[in-house]
Structure 1
Amino acid sequence: MTDTTHTGKTIDKAGEPSTSPLTPYRSDLLERFRAEAADQDLWVFGYASLLWRPEFDAQEQHASRVWGWHRALKMWSRLNRGSPECPGLVFALLPGGSCQGVVYRVAPNETDEVLRRLWAREMPMDVYTPSWLTCQTAQGPVKALAFTLPRSSPSFTGHLPAETYRQIFQQASGRFGSTIDYARQTYESLKAHGIHDRALAALLRHAD
């Protein structure tokens, strides 16, 4: 789930993202994806919290791999998993390498509603770049919606030293809980799907 209070965009007095209507950009982008997915199955690629909290009913799901992108705990979080005083981290899908996850199929009659819910969850501040990615499965390739992050984004952390991860794992917590709990829950969910993320396992050793 995205968290973008650090971008300087509108935040209400309680420190929560504004619940005002979608900006023209977000609205136009949602409408484009709604049009492209209209009257057909919607496939959604999950690589982090969508693995353990998809918030929609899938008709089927399959283990999948996306080439050209990789999962990384390199998006700043100053609301959901951290605070302005002690920023936390959430996962992003960054260019390069490959990523194993789960691809979900949503029935055509539910596509529109699921897209709206995903936009409310992942795109409240336009940080992610929603993309159609080719997901390889044992049943063949499918085109799925995935929320990616460009390295040019101010939300991208760049390289973080081990000591920074150690400090974040020890201290960072936000309205949805701590960064370390989020990372561990993602790791355990990946394992439950038969996926071993060695990079994430290595990062979690900084919490020991």
Structure 2
Amino acid sequence: MPRSNVPTTSAAGALTDAAAALAVAGPLHVFAYGSLMWDPGFTVAATAVARLAGYHRALCILSIRNRGTPECPGLVVGLKAGGSCVGQVLRVADDGAEAALAHLQERELSTNAYLPHHLAVRLADGRRVKALAFVARPDHPQFMSGLSVAEQAALVAQGVGPYGSSLDYLRHVCSALDDRGLPDGPLHRVLAAAEALAVSSPRNRAPTVPSP
């Protein structure tokens, strides 16, 4: 089960450090590349399409709380090293930074599977801003690497948690990318496979719980 051997580094402490570093530069910006694109959960003053170099979006985090359970995990996106990722920069309202950080700590750092970083992103007009980004932790038991499309689809098709199903999550991610003119072929391929699996597979099939 993806519970043991959780890294001891405090993601919450790292969030505080990252936020403090960003505060020096002015307004708080958050780099959204998954559910934060369509459901940030905090007051956003402005948005802009941006590219983050050095990381790419991938279905690589087992969801055992929000979009799945330890016994029947789902799969959600994280930032993995290498390549680049086009997403959205969210500028937090000036009077909403404290509330936004509290929300992000609860939502993104509940199992320590992500580590917050303040990273430079490039806007469409060429300007660079520093933004808070949540990077997947490759040393964490929820981190998955090397899964085939079929293995990813099986996890997406099965996971359901308090935030809804992993399948609905991926539908929203792909729709958000499409709406912003940001197609992501790998995610769309997994979505198609998961949709087919959800239709064809019996509800009582044994859940998939992969080893890291």
TM range (shorter): 0.7 to 0.9
For structure 2, list consecutive stretches of 5 or more residues without a partner in the other structure: 197-212
Number of the residue aligned with 1:6: 2
CA deviation profile, 1:10-46 (whole Å, cap 9, x unmatched):
9xxxxxxxxxxxx993553343234323372011000
Task: From 116, 129, 132, give the equivalent of 1:130.
Answer: 116
Answer whether contact 1:38 1:108 (CA < 8 A) is retained.
no
Q: Distance in 1 between matches of 2:4 and 2:67?
A: 17
For structure 1, list consecutive stretches of 5 or more residues without a partner in the other structure: 11-22
Task: From 147, 159, 169, give the equivalent of 1:182.
Answer: 169
CA deviation profile, 1:107-140 (whole Å, cap 9, x unmatched):
3332223222211221123221100111111231
Change (3 A) 1:116 1:156: same
Change (3 A) 1:25 1:60: same
The AA in structure 2 aligned to 1:173 is V
Matched-pair identity in % = 36
The reply on whether 1:52 has 2:48 as its aligned counterpart is: no
Change (3 A) 1:203 1:110: same
- Any idea what SS the aligned residue of 2:111 has? coil
Change (3 A) 1:110 1:9: farther
Number of the residue aligned with 1:202: 189
Q: Distance in 2 between matches of 1:170 and 1:78?
A: 14
Answer whether contact 1:37 1:111 (CA < 8 A) is retained.
no
- Any idea what SS the aligned residue of 1:38 has? helix
Residue 86 of structure 1: CA displacement?
2.1
The reply on whether 1:35 has 2:20 as its aligned counterpart is: yes
Task: From 70, 73, 80, give the equivalent of 1:84.
Answer: 70
How many residues in Structure 1 have an aligned counterpart in Structure 2? 192
Number of the residue aligned with 2:137: 150
User: Normalising by the residue count of structure 2, what TM-score does the alignment of the two structures yield?
Assistant: 0.81
Q: Distance in 1 between matches of 2:130 and 2:155?
A: 35
The AA in structure 2 aligned to 1:60 is A
Q: Distance in 1 between matches of 2:138 and 2:11?
A: 20
The reply on whether 1:112 has 2:108 as its aligned counterpart is: no
User: Normalising by the residue count of structure 1, what TM-score does the alignment of the two structures yield?
Assistant: 0.82
